[in-house]
Amino acid sequence: MTKFIRRLQKIGSSILVCLPKEWVDANNLQKSTQVEIETGQDSLSVTVNKENRPSKQVVISYPLPKDENIVADITGAYLLGYDIIKIQGKESIPIEDREKIRNSMRRLVGMEIIEEDSSNVIMQFLLDVTTLQPDKILKRISSIALGMFNDVLTGLISDDKSNLLTLSNRDVEVNRQYFLLVRLIRSTMIDRKLAGVFNLENIDILDYRIAANLLENVGDTTVELSNLIANTSLSSSKLKLLYEIVKDFPSIAKKSTDAFTKNDRILAIQAISQHKKYQDKISKFRTSLENKKHVPIDYLDLIYLFERIAKSWADVADLVKPIYKQ
């Protein structure tokens, strides 16, 4: 963000300020162009009308430089908030890379291929960001991850563990929603008007970024946990014993997410308190095992992963700001 200093001028009864020429030229503004002006307590922002705003575009030249990755480049442009991503080739794009481009679209919510020929692909973000809501996206991430966690709990006490091997497919949707939220958060940091639409201060934007990362990690860890349970040689009695220790955690996880999205400090304190009791219980269980001989390493690995998942949701509750008396 570039800063400019301007001196106020008085003409008649009006106070005027000149807009930076660089900004006017970059946005193709003319004498009669309308702009949006939004005032804050000690600030004023001037924004190009939505109808006049140029779409953010980026061009990816093909073939790529050595060690570059087409999927990573597209994902990076998406996360940076580009509305149009153009892949321009000096030669035909091979079928292998063309399939990678198509597969990457499935990972990016709102991104679609709108034009394509043998050497060029144009993708566009088709959603209106003002209709998206960060809290609902975060709750969806949490809900999907919690559904995966509940299936892991079922896997601990069920003889049929085949369902556990499918959780990685649902983690793909966690990643899709995570990418969408990161894109939205970054756009909000750049566009203060958008921050106003969502009623988010800078600290709120940062907290959403942290919370999103924590819940994305929950999805990854849950997949790791499900694979370990599906392939373990531990007896059913040992798994059922672990189930009794961890079965009540989903209610704590949901409370943590609700506390964050509602910015409810009282709810957060309840979640933090319940998590501490849960952590104490699972820590005692782990210590009792460590004092025994010949404890299967799988057992300790399972406990560690359950603790790691719980810590992530507890950290989400910790993000809810304390209330200070003025």
Among the residue ranges 104-118, 128-142, 248-262, 284-298, the one predicted with the least confidence is 284-298
Quote the pLDDT of residue 4: 74
Quote the pLDDT of residue 38: 67
**DSSP one-letter code for 60:** E
Domains and CATH numbers, the chain: 9-52 (no CATH), 57-125 (3.30.110), 130-318 (1.20.58.220)
Backbone angles phi, psi at 214, to 5 degrees: -60, -45
Are 260 and 211 in contact by the 8 Å Cβ rule? The answer is yes
Quote the pLDDT of residue 201: 87
Are 248 and 278 in contact by the 8 Å Cβ rule? The answer is yes
For residues 199 and 187, give the distance between their C-alpha atoms in angstroms, rounded to a whole number. 14
Vertex 310: Cα angle to 309 and 314 (nearest 5): 120
For residues 60 and 42, give the distance between their C-alpha atoms in angstroms, rounded to a whole number. 40
Quote the pLDDT of residue 190: 80
Are 298 and 234 in contact by the 8 Å Cβ rule? The answer is yes
Which tokens in the block code for residue 48? 């190009």
What are 72-94's pLDDT values in tens digits? 999 999 999 999 999 999 889 99
For residues 247 and 250, give the distance between their C-alpha atoms in angstroms, rounded to a whole number. 7
For residues 140 and 143, give the distance between their C-alpha atoms in angstroms, rounded to a whole number. 5
**Does 63 score more than 60 pLDDT?**
yes
CA-to-CA separations, 87 to 58, 68, 115, 117, 118, in angstroms, rounded: 9, 14, 10, 10, 11
3-state SS class at 186: helix
Please tell me which residue, 23 or 206, carries the higher pLDDT value.
206
For residues 86 and 61, give the distance between their C-alpha atoms in angstroms, rounded to a whole number. 8
* Matching residue, tokens 């005027």: 16
Quote the pLDDT of residue 56: 86
Q: How confident is the model at residue 14 (pLDDT cuts 50, 70, 90)?
A: low
**Does 53 score more than 60 pLDDT?**
no
Quote the pLDDT of residue 129: 87
- Burial of 127-140, coded b for 16+ CB within 10 Å and e otherwise, reads eebeebebbebbbb
Report how far Cα 192 is from the mean position of its chain's Cα atoms.
19
| Cis geometry, peptide bond prior to residue 63 (ω within 30 degrees of 0) | yes
Are 192 and 286 in contact by the 8 Å Cβ rule? The answer is no
- Residue 178: which of 126, 150, 220, 213 has the closest Cα? 213
**DSSP one-letter code for 231:** T
Whether the model pTM is above 0.85: no
Which tokens in the block code for residue 3? 């800063």
AA identity, residue 197: V
Are 160 and 225 in contact by the 8 Å Cβ rule? The answer is no
Strands (E), the chain: 9-11, 14-16, 35-39, 44-48, 57-62, 84-89, 111-116, 120-125
Backbone angles phi, psi at 262, to 5 degrees: -95, -5
The residue count for the chain:
326
User: Average model confidence (pLDDT) for the chain?
Assistant: 89
What are 136-178's pLDDT values in tens digits? 999 999 999 999 999 999 999 999 898 999 999 999 999 999 9
For residues 187 and 161, give the distance between their C-alpha atoms in angstroms, rounded to a whole number. 42
**DSSP one-letter code for 132:** -
